[in-house]
Each structure stands twice: as structure tokens, then as C-alpha cells.
Structure 1
Amino acid sequence: MKDSTRQKLKGVSVATLCTALFKRGLRNQYIQDVRPLNPAGGTMVGEAYTLRYIPAREDLNPITVFQDRGHPQRKAVEECPPGAVLVIDSRKDARAASAGSILVSRLMVRGVAGIVTDGGFRDSPEIAALAIPSYHSRPSSPTNLTLHQALDINVPIGCGDAAVFPGDVVVGDAEGVIVIPAGIADEIADEAVEMTAFEDFVTEQVLGGRTILGLYPPTDPDVKDTFATWRQAKGR
């Protein structure tokens, strides 16, 4: 991902990105039912690096599996690239944790841009205090081994009913998380910046008392010129 694209995406909302993707017929890019542990933690932008869980089978998933340095969960934490987002397919099952504060702390120290699971985190108060954007469904104290068996790293997964392919661009804000196909990330970022400028103009107009009719969408003939004048004054 270009640095310029990353910076543009940091300045737009997930809601705006949802609309930009919808215009292209992409309706299912929002990761459902995940929430930020720290809504004030800033915008998360990074390329997806994935981890997939399957239902645990007891004879293959004792606590001793963590002694294996090649355990997929441990490998994912140590190999997720700096600037990427670790996205975990926990089968939308938060009855057991996807990870805890120690692993998320390791990701933070390694420079990973964020972590998302459609399950839950244990040690969620501690994770909320870390300087890394983190998203989950709800707190969950039991170890992941209780129900989840880590199987694959960096393969296509489902997370919160959204398909996530390695390298997709993942953006999270205080509201939620969106997945942008890698091949259109640059143009989506450009469009979202333009949409954000117009929406900021519209918001100012509405707060000043103007009706949304003819303004949003901009069907009145004066809106284009008024917006151009506003944009020039704002340097946008």
C-alpha cells in the first residue's frame, strides 16, 4: 500500500468507505459485530495478515501445543508484518478468547497496525489501554484452546461475515472495521477524500439551517458553485 493511500484512509470514516464500496457493488465489506476496545485510539489502517481458527478437537489441542514454536497463533504474532493488521477468523464465537494482552502487546511492540477478531479478547481492560487499535465482539476470559484450534496463517478467511484476503486493506475507526480489496484501495481512498470534503461542507450547511433537500444529494443548481467556493476557502 502506498504511504499516500494510508494517509488518505486515516482521514476518512469507515461509513464513507462503506458508501464508496457500495457504489461499486461491494455490499459486504463491513466486518459485522466487532467494536473497538478503545474508541479514542485513532484510525487503524493496514494490509490484512490473517489467522484462521477451526473448532478445537480435544486430542489435538491440549495446552502443551503452545510449547511448539510453530504453533499457528504464536507464528502469526511473531510474523505479522509491521504496519499490517492481524485479522482473526474466530468463527464469530466469543465464548473463548482469540488472544490476550501479552500477545497483543507483542504485536504492538513489533509495529503491527492493529488486530481484529470476530470473537473475543481476554484481558480486554489491559488491551484497551495499549497503543494499538484492537477490535472484538466482546470480552472473553477462557483461553482460545477451550473452543478454537489455530490452523492456518495468511489464507483467505471470513471475519464477521466479510471475506478477508491477505493483502486486503483493513480500516478501522471508532465505529467499526471495513475491508477494501487491495486492487482498488488507491481509488477508493481518493474517492473517500472527495466524499469527506463534500460531507463536511454539507454538515456545515445543515448546521447553518439549510434543508437537506437539493443539498444531499446535490440536485440544486447552486450547490456545485457554493461547494467550490467553500472548498477554496477551506483549502480542501
Structure 2
Amino acid sequence: TMRALPPRPDLRRAVDALAAEGNWDSRGYVRAGEEGHVGDIVVAERGGFDGDIFFGDMTALGMKLRGIKGVIIEGATRDQNELNGEEFDGFPVYARYFDPRGPEWLGVSWNVPVRVGTATVLPGDIVVAEAEAVLFFPPELLPQVLQAARDRQALEHYERELMNSKQYRVRDVYPLSPTLREEYERKRRQPPPQ
């Protein structure tokens, strides 16, 4: 995780001095690419829709080649065509929006809690993402999250079966009417056929 702030001269001097002292790149996106570990997902807080660009395709390529698995940006990125191209298969980048400008904000915090939308993200959180949404949760919740996902998947599978049978109205199936819900729960309690 990393947080960035809009630039100002005194902040720029402080970040540059810390970077020189710590032997790291003062550009947060470069530092993320150099210090990330195999399997990491970089989460960058860049100010949302009022914020800044995180990176472009060259830095993204460096991250991918380092073994980083993807990037989530509360803000913008650029080079949308390239990031959606074949070279970046298996390296998803989620951003609020795309903008052709270069990054200006300063990376000021590293491995700290950050905000993405209404979620607080901590270093080490589990990240699940798809085209519609990104979900963050603490590792200790993994068993409950997996069970809730399995339960939801089973319910929706049952609802689809009912709809595909063409014997029910949509409003009876989604959400399940009390009668169909009772039938669903009864079927779930039955042991699987041998």
C-alpha cells in the first residue's frame, strides 16, 4: 500500500532527502516496482477522481516482470490501450479513470493504511478483484468470506435453474419467494446423493 499527496516545494525536498538517505527512488510508482515482491498487489491511494496519475505502461511492465500480480489505484493511470493489451495479460490494473498526463503527486507513505473508495486497506489484506469491483479484507476473515461466496454461488445457481425451467416468474425467483426459499433450504440440508 502507498499514499501520495499533491506536490509542494517543502514536501518535495523532504521526500527527495528521505529517498537519498534510504537509497530508494522518490517516485512512488518506481519504488513500488522496485521493492514489490513476487505475488504482491500494489494498492495506491492517489486521491480518487480529484487525484493524480499513478503510472504508465513502462512502470507497469517493470512491476509485472518483477512478479507483482496487479495494481489497484484510487486515482488514475495512463496508457489504457497498452495496459489492456496482450503484453499485460495476467496483470490487471484497476483505476478510477485514465488520463494521458504524467504523475505529479508525491509518494509520502509506504506500507500504511490507505483508502480505496469507502474501504480501508491495510498491508497484507487479501484482495479479490473482477471487472465490476474490488474487495479487500483481513486474512483472518478468509474462511468466512469463502463460505459466504460459496453460499451465494449455490443460491444463484439454484435461482438460475428455476428461471431456466420457465415455470416461475422472475419476481418469485429473484429474490426467492418464501415458499421457494424454504424449498431451497430443505434441499441444502439433504445429504448429497451417493
Shorter-chain TM-score bucket reads: 0.7 to 0.9
Q: 2:122 aligns with which of 165, 171, 174?
A: 165
Name the SS for the 2:141 alignment partner: helix
Amino acid at match of 2:184: V
The answer for the alignment partner of 2:131 in structure 1 is 174
**Structure 2 residue runs without a partner (length 5+):** none
Deviations 1:65-89 (A, max 9, x none): 6x96512432222222222211110
Amino acid at match of 1:184: L
1:175 and 1:232, CA in 2 relative to 1: closer, same or farther beyond 3 A?
farther
The answer for the alignment partner of 1:83 in structure 2 is 39
1:120 and 1:222, CA in 2 relative to 1: closer, same or farther beyond 3 A?
same
Greater relative contact order structure (CA < 8 Å, 6+ sep): 1
Query: After superposition, where does 1:88-99 map in structure 2 within 5 Å?
Result: 88-93=44-49, 96-99=52-55
Q: Post-superposition, which runs of at least 4 consecutive aligned residues in structure 1 deviate over 6 A?
A: none
Amino acid at match of 2:2: L
The answer for the alignment partner of 2:3 in structure 1 is 52
Deviations 1:138-182 (A, max 9, x none): 11122112xx11111110011223211111111111112111222
1:194 and 1:59, CA in 2 relative to 1: closer, same or farther beyond 3 A?
same
Q: Name the structure with the higher helix share.
A: 2
The answer for the alignment partner of 1:141 in structure 2 is 100
Identity of aligned residues (%): 22
How far, CA to CA, are the matches of 2:185 and 2:11 in structure 1? 63
Amino acid at match of 1:128: N
How far, CA to CA, are the matches of 2:98 and 2:184 in structure 1? 47
Amino acid at match of 1:57: R
Which one has the largest radius of gyration? 2
Query: After superposition, where does 1:118-137 map in structure 2 within 5 Å?
Result: 118-129=74-85, 130-131=88-89, 132-137=91-96
TM-score by length of 2: 0.79
Name the SS for the 1:73 alignment partner: helix
Amino acid at match of 2:55: A
TM-score by length of 1: 0.66
The answer for the alignment partner of 1:10 in structure 2 is none
